[in-house]
């Protein structure tokens, strides 16, 4: 009882110590995450400014390593990759993207891992490494097929269609575009449809129209081009109109419809004016460039001051936490030693119980054997013959065979003396590695031999007690 009470007190103390340490650690972690989120937002805003971008991302990586928050390190690499992709520095972009992918894969951050895989595939598509792009997009498609169908799966299939189209694999490209289109349409039926989704369907229809044109199926090509034009005009997607007009011009040229072909050539020339909705442009006075520069500098100074204050605050908090942590570490170490001692004692007790249980089972088995022998009063040999125990004088081992000497006969059978010993009752004693004698037939014995009532002398070994 006293031991159990002590053990409960130790467990309670350990739990309280862990909870207190975790509370302190979680408070530090939360404040660090606020700072990291602010730094991440600033890095996103200042993508075009290389110095500021590297300053903020290096800060993020340093703090993420210091406080073991790898998700922010992944985000920093992603921001750097995105910035270099906008500058068309694709090698640097790929380098940071691979770092983000490898780290997220190592930590089992599935969403970040496949987002970075998608970015790598898009960069390979942009740089004309179409085989590599297909490899990455196929990998992403396989993952999203096992998950609930989502916009990401349909976007991936659209990217596969783009890659196959650039590789002149028209059939594969058409299959992926159509699968993607069906997926987009199923999402479109849901409430609160995003305009970007309609733009994706518009682009998909235009790509399908191009493929049918290359396959000389001008009717289907015209059908998808009309569908794309209808969606673009309805949603005021003026950027894609010149491409649609060009495809329709080519289709009507092939069909021999000169008037329609001229119509879309003229629309293609005039389409640049539709890219901007002039009625929605607000007129305002141009800002003073000097004032703008001063505002930027003021914002920069405020940001630097804010970061310095946060750094000082975090540093003082970290020192206080480290000071308390030493105390808690010592307490936890003491609790651990006591718990380890309790565990060792418990293990020893448990081992003794196990040994006693084994001995108990062994004794029961021996008693059962003796009981069966007393009841039966004979043993059955491998040659099916019976030997009565009250007549058996001794057993002799001869290689792989046994000689059993009784008062009436002699039996010769194949077997081991150890097997025979386990079958005989306690009055049969092993006096030599090759002999077992029945104590009931021992006439006399000395230190070297045992004389039996039938006149045979059996050697007695020192290693066997008699």
Residue 451 lies in a domain: yes
Domain assignment of residue 353, yes or no: no
Measured N-to-C along each axis, helices 90-106 and 70-86 cross at an angle, to the nearest 10 degrees, of 160
What is the DSSP code string of 92-154? HHHHHHHHHHHHHHHTT-HHHHHHHHHHHHHHHHHTT-HHHHHHHHHHHHHHHHHS---HHHH
Q: Of 222, 251, 276, at which residue does a domain stop?
A: 276
Residue 28, pLDDT score: 53
pLDDT score, position 355: 83
Residues 64 and 47: their CA atoms lie apart, in Å, by: 20
Domain end marker among 250, 276, 302: 276
- The answer to whether residue 413 is domain-embedded is yes
Asked if residue 384 lies in contact with residue 428, where contact means CB atoms within 8 angstroms, the answer is no
Q: Which of 241, 276, 311 is the last residue of a domain?
A: 276
Provide the whole-model pTM.
0.52
Q: Is residue 405 part of a domain?
A: yes
Residue 12 lies in a domain: no
Q: Angle 195-214/241-255 helices, nearest 10 degrees?
A: 30
Task: Identify the pLDDT of residue 208.
Answer: 92
Q: What is the pLDDT of residue 286?
A: 40
DSSP 3-state of 267: helix
Q: Provide the pLDDT for residue 300.
A: 63
Residue segments in the chain with a per-residue pLDDT below the cut of 70: 1-31, 47, 148-149, 188-195, 271-305, 307-308, 310-311, 317-323, 328, 366-376, 465-466
What residues have CB less than 8 Å from 398, skipping those under 6 apart? 434
Q: Is residue 422 part of a domain?
A: yes
> For the domain that residue 257 is a member of, what is the CATH number?
1.25.40
In a domain, 357, yes or no: no
Query: Could you identify the residue written with the tokens 């349409």?
Result: 185
Torsion of CA 421, 422, 423, 425, to 10 degrees: 80
- Tokens for 42? 């600033």
Tokens for 138? 């196929």
- As given in the structure block, the two tokens for residue 264 are 């879309």
Residue at 395 is within a domain: yes
Give the number of domains in the chain: 2
Instruction: Check if the beta carbon of residue 39 is closer than 8 Å to that of residue 56.
Output: yes
Q: What is the CATH number of the domain that holds 397?
A: 2.40.50.1020
Res 182: pLDDT: 87
pLDDT of the residue at 4: 57
Q: Which domain holds residue 401?
A: 379-459
């Amino acid at each position: 009882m006293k031991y159990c009470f002590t053990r409960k007190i130790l467990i309670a103390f350990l739990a309280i110590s862990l909870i207190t340490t975790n509370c302190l650690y979680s408070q530090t972690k939360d404040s660090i995450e606020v700072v990291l989120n602010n730094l991440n937002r600033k890095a996103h805003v200042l993508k075009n400014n290389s110095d500021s971008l590297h300053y903020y991302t290096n800060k993020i990586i340093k703090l993420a390593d210091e406080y073991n928050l790898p998700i922010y390190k992944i985000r920093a690499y992603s921001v750097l990759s995105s910035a270099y992709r906008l500058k068309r520095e694709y090698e640097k972009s790929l380098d940071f993207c691979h770092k983000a992918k490898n780290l997220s894969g190592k930590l089992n951050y599935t969403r970040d891992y496949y987002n970075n895989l998608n970015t790598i595939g898009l960069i390979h598509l942009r740089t004309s490494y179409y085989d590599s792009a297909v490899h990455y997009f196929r990998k992403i498609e396989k993952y999203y097929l096992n998950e609930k169908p989502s916009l990401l799966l349909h976007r991936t299939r659209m990217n596969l269609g783009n890659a196959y189209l650039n590789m002149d694999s028209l059939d594969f490209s058409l299959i992926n575009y159509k699968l993607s289109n069906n997926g987009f349409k199923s999402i479109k039926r849901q409430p609160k449809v995003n305009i970007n989704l309609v733009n994706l369907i518009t682009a998909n229809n235009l790509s399908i129209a191009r493929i049918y044109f290359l396959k000389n199926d001008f009717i289907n090509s015209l059908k998808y081009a009309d569908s794309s034009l209808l969606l673009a005009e309805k949603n005021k997607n003026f950027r894609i109109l010149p491409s649609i007009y060009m495809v329709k011009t080519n289709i009507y040229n092939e069909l021999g419809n000169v008037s329609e072909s001229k119509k879309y050539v003229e629309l293609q020339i005039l389409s640049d004016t539709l890219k901007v909705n002039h009625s929605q442009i607000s007129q305002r006075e141009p800002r003073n460039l000097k004032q703008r520069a001063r505002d930027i500098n003021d914002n920069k100074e405020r940001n630097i001051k804010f970061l310095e204050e946060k750094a000082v605050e975090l540093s003082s908090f970290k020192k206080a936490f480290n000071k308390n942590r030493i105390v808690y570490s010592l307490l936890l170490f003491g609790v651990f030693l006591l718990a380890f001692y309790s565990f060792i004692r418990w293990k020893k007790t448990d081992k003794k119980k196990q040994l006693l249980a084994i001995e108990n089972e062994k004794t029961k088995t021996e008693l059962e054997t003796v009981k069966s022998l007393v009841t039966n009063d004979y043993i059955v040999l491998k040659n099916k013959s019976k030997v009565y125990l009250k007549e058996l004088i001794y057993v002799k081992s001869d290689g792989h065979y046994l000689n059993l000497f009784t008062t009436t006969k002699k039996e010769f059978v194949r077997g081991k003396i150890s097997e025979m010993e386990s079958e005989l009752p306690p009055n049969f004693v092993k006096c030599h590695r090759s002999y077992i004698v029945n104590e009931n037939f021992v006439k006399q014995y000395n230190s070297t031999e045992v004389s039996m009532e039938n006149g045979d002398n059996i050697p007695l070994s020192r290693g066997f007690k008699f």
